[in-house]
Amino acid sequence: MLTSFLNAGKWLWHLYVKRRFPLFAVSTIVSFFALALFGENLSPFPPNQVDLGARFSPPFWQEGGSIAHFLGTDGLGRDILSRIMIGARNSCIVAIFSLFLGGFLGTVIGIVSGYFGGIVDGILMRMGDATIAFPIILLAILLSIILGPSLLNVVAALGLVLWARYARVIRGEVLSLKERDFVALARVAGASDLRIMVKHILPNIYNTLLVLLTLQVGWVIIVEAALSFMGAGLPGPDPVWGSMVAKGRQYVTSAWWVPFMPGMAIAIVCLSFNMLGDWLREVLDPRMRQVE
Amino acid sequence: MKPILDVQKVKKYFPVERGAIFRKVAGQIKAVDNISFSIVPGETLALVGESGCGKSTVGRLILNLLPVTGGTIFFSGIPLEEMDRSQRKIYRSAVQAVFQDPMSSLSPRMRIREIIAEGLVINQSLSRNEIDSKIQQVLDQVGLPQDAIKHYPHEFSGGQRQRIAIARALIVDPKLIILDEAVSALDVSIQAQIVNLLRDLQREFHLSYLFIAHSLGTVRYISDRIGVMYLGSLVEIGPAEEIFTNLHHPYTRALIDAAMPSHPDFVREDVVLAGEVPSALNVPEGCRFNTRCPFAKDVCRQVEPEMFEIGPGHFTACHMLDGAPEAGFFLN
Amino acid sequence: MTQPLLKVTDLKTQFRTKWGLVKAVDGVSFHVKHGETFGIVGESGSGKSVTSLSIMRLIPQPAGRIVSGAIELDGLNLLELSEKEMRDYRGGKIGMILQDPLSSLNPLFTIGSQIIEGLRIHTSLKGRSLKERAIDLLRRVHIPSPAMRMKDWPHLLSGGMRQRVVGAISISCEPELLIADEPTTALDATIQLQYLNLLKRIQKETRLSIIFVTHDLGAVAYLCHRAAVMYAGRIVETATVKDLFDKPAHPYTIGLLNSMQKVEKKADHIESIKGQPPNLKNLPIGCSFAPRCDQVKDICKEKYPEETELGADHLVRCWVVKKEAVKIK
């Protein structure tokens, strides 16, 4: 028991020192997920509790601020910290589902396109180019106007835009993988196309996929915020980071903390995911693994 | 003896396309051009030649990894393209391959057990126990420890990886194994191990090998017959010792003279075949070797020579058949 | 005896990797005489390429480091030169040919300009004479119609031609030492022979010394005067090529010669060296070849062998050294 504990400690130390483990980023991400799960239990105030007596209370370090409202309050006297904590859940849900959808579609299309090549590849990749060339925010707004604003539609819109980014990178990877000898040998052994794609090609793109997913989390949170900012995001009274910025922007000169605090939350989370992604890319780089 | 594999007038042309939008076929790369040979059970036929001569393409055609442009490949007398489902299934087990790069020929994310068992899993319905005992058996045969199955390819050295690749081919009881530069990438001391292993396995299981290689030393050691390829076609084919001692084609001579000596006493000065292999996009008229051949006459530049039998089982395609070129005849 | 051109003494080059320190070259000493071709033979991971890179001081930084030793060219220790002084030596007094001719040439410049580039840096030639010199060099490496080839791009040339251009660049400043690291491995047999003959001829004309790094004993027999056999970062045997093939003393050399697949004669059986190549991260104490050696004694597992002199220019590091000639099958 003790030795395994020590070993785990050694491993963590090795990760941190030798491989420059991004401790800051990962702790931010862990707290982000914790907030998404337990935000209600942790937040000091209910997010929608109006207290007109405490309107525009500044953050605690400014004159007139109080420790109770740590990051201040908005125009209705709602506690900003609590609203950010609760808002994490929506951002998290949107990020996870849209990345899952986009990643799934992108992987399937990327593998099929790269593996079969020819006309299939031509059509799928032109579709991807069109998707990437189209202004994404506009596309998402269009979708949410047509389908009406809802969580599902935001996820669908983001997923449909995201797939092309994955498909493009994964197709490139598949193009080189399918020329490798182990694919030829699998074919000699009589493996079907499906078997080759699932058993021989897919496992070799997990790393790329993981890095891509992590790098896109930040992007998804920003786009979701932008959608909310423009009123095409999640509906309802519950706080969303993007719409908190949007609704707070009129107070930017008088009560700067109202839009600034949720904006800061967005920035920190995005930065953390990007740092994690960069680190993963380095650690999972096959050139660094093959040496052993 | 009836041949197990019979390659008849096989051609493989790759179209070269030009233009970004409207693709036009601008030419043909004649990678393999009208090749015929056969292999009988238990024998090793080596295909030798320089890079771009089409020897690897021949292997891939036999493995059905590429469609032929013309000609027919017969396996046990049945043409490949006329095989039905069950014959195809048999063929897939009967013909196996080991490639050059042991890094690239094993899926990096699969464990050795899964890699070796793949052919069995796909083509035969065996229980887990039966598969395990077969794996045990082939691991023994190729000289790998039993606990290898739990590991991943990158944990092994080059020679061991090639043993894994051989085990994978062996497990489905093949009749013919295509060895495409199977030992070229290995270190000298390991090469000898693997070549000896291949020889032992051949004797034990009466295997046929198509040994595609550029190293003539290995070829002389392992093969029964040798085919010499130049620019997509065979220029000489015959029993191995005949090819080394009683060869007729000037290119065969040049290739053997270009091999590195095994002792400083065997060094011959200034034995050089001039020039380089022409592009397969632009095969010379007449004999394809005429641009480099010091004996080329007018007929060589106009008429493509046909294969003539000059000894038992020894064929060559050359207009200048009067005498065999002596060693070192390319003296500058 | 005259002083050798190059004298390497106790060279140690190490790499720091994620898995610890790798002693790629561990105490290598040899010398190269004027006008001689010296072969360094070894299998992958033997340290032969790292040795040649160390002489050029081209070890990838910061992972790799020359830890100790001396590399004296004409009595001057290259390891004590500043980086700027060393730059004059590279391409000046020392020329280099690497294995991959494609990556040795910059695809964005014509081959003419790449030859002229080196001449401009290392000689005082100017203008027309630069160009004439470059054409002359191409002619010397037997490139047909050299004046026209000057304007060609590297990708238009075949592998053999490209390697000739690299050769032309490396001899352009009349180096005293040419380091050729597996220059013919990527070439076909007939082209390889052409290239080796070219090296021979250049050497005859200019009396330069060549260090020829290879895994191919046959090429050593063809080209070299003396050779060193490397195993796991150390030289196990140094001898004239004739002695190396006739009187090999180290069991590894003997094993290598026995496992050569000879083109001159059909062998009934070829003996191979048992076991796997050494793992540089985990070398045994004592002789690194001991786990694969069939004559291993207790002392081999305890202490690395000292150097034994068997005759003029014949050095071997082995505890069970054979004094008499060993018959190679």
pLDDT in tens, B103-160: 889 998 899 999 999 999 988 888 999 999 999 999 999 999 999 999 999 888 889 9
Is residue B257 less than 8 Å (CB to CB) from chain C? yes
Per the listing, tokens 């405490």 go with A54
CB contact under 8 A, B260 and C222: yes
Distance (Å) from the C-alpha of residue C57 to the closest C-alpha of chain B?
27
Residue from the list B189, B240, B267 with its beta carbon closest to the beta carbon of C222:
B267
Residues of B in contact with C161 (CB under 8 A): 276
Which residues of chain B lie closer than 8 angstroms to A184, CB-CB? 60, 63, 65, 97, 99, 105
Q: Do B217 and C263 touch (CB under 8 A)?
A: yes
Q: If DSSP codes are grouped into helix, strand and coil, which group holds residue B283? A: coil
Which residues does residue B53 pair with via DSSP β-bridges, in sequence order? Answer: none
Q: Is C156 an 8 Å CB contact of chain B? A: no
Statement: A29-289 belongs to CATH 1.10.3720.10? yes
Residue B273 sits at the chain A interface (C-beta within 8 Å): no
Low-confidence ranges of chain C (pLDDT < 50): none
CB-CB under 8 Å, A184 with B99 = yes
**What is the reported pLDDT for A289?**
45
CA distance, residue C225 to nearest chain B CA (Å): 10
pLDDT tens string B79-111? 998 999 889 989 999 999 999 888 889 998 899
Separation of alpha carbons A94 and A274, rounded Å: 17
Measured between alpha carbons, how far is C251 from C100 in angstroms, rounded to an integer?
32
Q: Is A207 on the interface with B (CB under 8 A)?
A: no
pLDDT of residue B329: 52
Q: Determine the pLDDT at residue A287.
A: 47
Tokens read off for B91: 């063929």
* B20-33 pLDDT per residue, tens: 566 777 788 889 99
With contact defined as beta carbons under 8 Å apart, do C259 and C273 qualify? yes
DSSP A252-283: TTT-THHHHHHHHHHHHHHHHHHHHHHHHHHH
C199 touching chain B per CB within 8 A: no
pLDDT at A196: 94
Min distance C30 CA to chain A CA atoms (Å): 29
Would you write out chain A's pLDDT as a tens digit for each of its 292 residues? 566 666 667 666 666 666 677 888 888 888 888 888 887 777 777 877 777 777 888 887 877 777 777 788 887 888 888 888 888 888 888 888 989 999 999 999 999 999 998 888 989 999 998 888 887 778 777 877 787 777 788 888 888 888 898 999 999 999 999 999 999 999 998 899 999 999 999 999 988 888 888 888 878 887 887 877 777 777 767 788 877 887 888 888 888 888 888 889 888 988 888 888 888 877 776 544 433 3
Q: Average pLDDT for residues B7-36, to the nearest whole number?
A: 84
Q: What is the pLDDT of residue B273?
A: 78
Contacts 24+ apart (CB under 8 A), B273-278: B273/B330, B273/C190, B273/C193, B273/C194, B274/B330, B274/C194, B276/C158, B276/C160, B276/C161, B276/C191, B277/B50, B277/B52, B277/B53, B277/B230, B277/B231, B277/C188, B278/B231
B189 and C261 within 8 Å at the Cβ level: the answer is no
Contact criterion met (CB < 8 Å) for B97 and A290: no
pLDDT tens string C267-283: 888 888 988 888 888 88
Q: d(Cα B276, Cα C168) in Å, to the nearest integer?
A: 19
Where on the phi/psi map is residue A223: left (φ > 0), alpha (ψ -120 to 50), or beta?
alpha
Q: Which domains does chain C have, with CATH numbers?
A: 6-231 (3.40.50.300)
How much is the pLDDT for B332?
37
Which residues on A lie below 8 Å from C17 (Cβ)? 291
In percent, the amount of chain B with pLDDT more than 90 equals: 57
- Span B192-197, average pLDDT: 94
| Contact assessment for residue A184 and residue B99, using Cβ atoms and an 8 Å cutoff | yes
Measured from the Cβ of residue A69, the count of other Cβ atoms closer than 10 Å reads: 23
List the single residue in B99, B100, B154 with the smallest CB-CB distance to A290: B154
C19 touches chain A (CB under 8 A): yes
pLDDT, one tens digit per residue, over B230-276 is: 999 999 999 999 999 988 898 998 898 888 888 888 887 666 677 78
H runs (alpha helix) in B95-245: 112-123, 128-142, 158-170, 188-205, 216-222, 240-245
Edge-first strand listing for the sheet containing C226-231? C94-97, C177-181, C209-214, C37-41, C226-231, C234-240, C314-317, C307-311
How far apart are alpha carbons B99 and B166 in whole angstroms?
10
- Cβ–Cβ below 8 Å for B260 and C263: yes
Nearest CA to B257 among C311, C286, C197, A144? Answer: C197
Whether the ipTM is more than 0.95: the answer is no
CB contact under 8 A, B106 and A190: no
Q: What is the model's pLDDT at position A18?
A: 61
B279 contacts chain C (CB < 8 A):
no
pLDDT, residue C173, reads: 83
Taking the C-alpha atoms of residue A80 and residue A86, their distance in angstroms, rounded to an integer, is 10
C-alpha distance from residue C186 to each of B232, B292, C50 (Å):
20, 21, 19
Residue extents of the structural domains in chain A: 29-289
Q: Find chain B residues with C-beta within 8 A of C44's C-beta.
A: 158, 187
What is the distance in angstroms between the Cα of A13 and the nearest Cα belonging to chain C? 14
Determine whether the interchain pair B221/C270 forms a contact, defined as Cβ–Cβ distance below 8 Å.
Answer: yes
Two structure tokens written together for C206: 């200019």
What's the pTM? 0.85
Q: Is B65 on the interface with A (CB under 8 A)?
A: yes
3-state secondary structure C36-94: CEEEEECCCCCCHHHHHHHHCCCCCCCCEEEEEEEEEECCEEHHHCCHHHHHHHECCCE
| Interface mutation vs chain A, best among C15, C16, C18, C22, most A CBs within 10 Å | C18
Cα A212 to Cα A203: distance, rounded to the nearest angstrom: 15
Interface size, chain A vs chain C, as Cβ–Cβ contacts under 8 Å: 6
Of how many residues is chain B composed? 332
Return the residue in C224, C253, C264 with the most chain B beta carbons within 10 A, the one to mutate for interface testing.
C264
C18 has a chain A CB within 8 A of its CB:
yes
Residue A53 CB coordination number (10 Å): 8
Residues in chain A closer than 8 A to C19 (CB atoms): 291-292
Q: Is pLDDT at B51 greater than 80 in this prediction?
A: yes
Question: Residue B188 and residue C256: Cβ atoms within 8 Å?
Answer: yes
**A8: which residues sit within 8 A by CB, 6+ positions away?**
none
Quick check: B314 pLDDT over 90?
Answer: yes
